[in-house]
Structure 1
Amino acid sequence: MPYAFIHAPTGTLLSCVQRNGYKLAYYGLVLTESASGPLEISQALAEAGIAPDDPAGDVTEWSPLELTEHEAKMANVKLRNDPRRVAYYRDGVISATESAGNG
């Protein structure tokens, strides 16, 4: 099962622009095959453009979250390949909204 990264205070799932196997850019969840530690989380935050001094940049506030394949796919569907959207996992439910900081 895939693992996503969740920000404990907000329930935000880490997402960013990535490249698929065909080298095409898409916006989606950052997923790994296994639970990751602080080093991998730090690297994922850096790839997503989140600096350590950003409000969400504290590595200790992020942790791996095991998702089913279906949940991972649904989160990406809810993101709509749109960097203005943010995915959340709260009370076992995945949702997404447009970020208030964009527009």
Structure 2
Amino acid sequence: MPYVLKHAPTGTILACVQRNGYELAYYGVLLWEQPPTAAQMPEALAEAGIAPDEVAGKVQDWEPLVLTEHDVKMANVKLRNDPRRVLVYRNGSLHAQ
């Protein structure tokens, strides 16, 4: 099962611009096959452009969340490859804003 990072206070799922297997850029959720380590979490925040001095920049406020493959696909569909959209996990479901 894939893991994502969720900002505990807001429910925001970490997403950023990435490259697929064809080296094409897309905006989607960051995934791990295992829960991200303490070393991987600040790297992921930096990759998403979140600085340590920002409100969401505190690593301790982020927690691993396991999703189904279907949820991951739906998460990326809801993001619509648009960095202005924010994905939130609330009450067991994903919502885009």
Answer whether TM exceeds 0.5 for this pair. Answer: yes
Q: How does 1:49-60 map to 2 (within 5 A)?
A: 49-60=49-60
What is residue 35 of structure 2 aligned with on the other side? Answer: 35
Task: Please report how far the alpha carbon of residue 36 of structure 1 lies from its aligned counterpart in structure 2 after TM superposition.
Answer: 1.3
Is residue 38–residue 60 contact of structure 1 (8 Å, CA) maintained in 2?
no
Q: Secondary structure at the match of 1:13?
A: coil
Gaps of 5+ in 2: none
TM-score (norm 2): 0.98
Task: Please report how far the alpha carbon of residue 87 of structure 1 lies from its aligned counterpart in structure 2 after TM superposition.
Answer: 0.3
Using the alignment, how far apart are the partners of 2:78 and 2:13 within structure 1? 12
Give the strand-richer structure, 1 or 2: 1
Is residue 5–residue 14 contact of structure 1 (8 Å, CA) maintained in 2?
yes
Using the alignment, how far apart are the partners of 1:94 and 1:70 within structure 2? 11
TM-score (norm 1): 0.92
Q: How does 1:67-78 map to 2 (within 5 A)?
A: 67-78=67-78
Q: Secondary structure at the match of 2:87?
A: strand
Q: Deviations over 1:50-99 (max 9, x none)?
A: 010011000000011000000000010000000000001111010101xx
What is residue 87 of structure 2 aligned with on the other side? Answer: 87
Using the alignment, how far apart are the partners of 1:79 and 1:88 within structure 2? 10
User: How many residues end up aligned between the 2 structures?
Assistant: 97
Show structure 1 runs of 4+ deviating over 3 A: none
CA RMSD after TM alignment: 0.6
Q: Give, as a single letter, the amino acid of the residue that structure 1 aligns with 2:80.
A: R
What is residue 6 of structure 2 aligned with on the other side? Answer: 6
Task: Please report how far the alpha carbon of residue 37 of structure 1 lies from its aligned counterpart in structure 2 after TM superposition.
Answer: 2.3
What is residue 101 of structure 1 aligned with on the other side? Answer: none
Identity %: 64
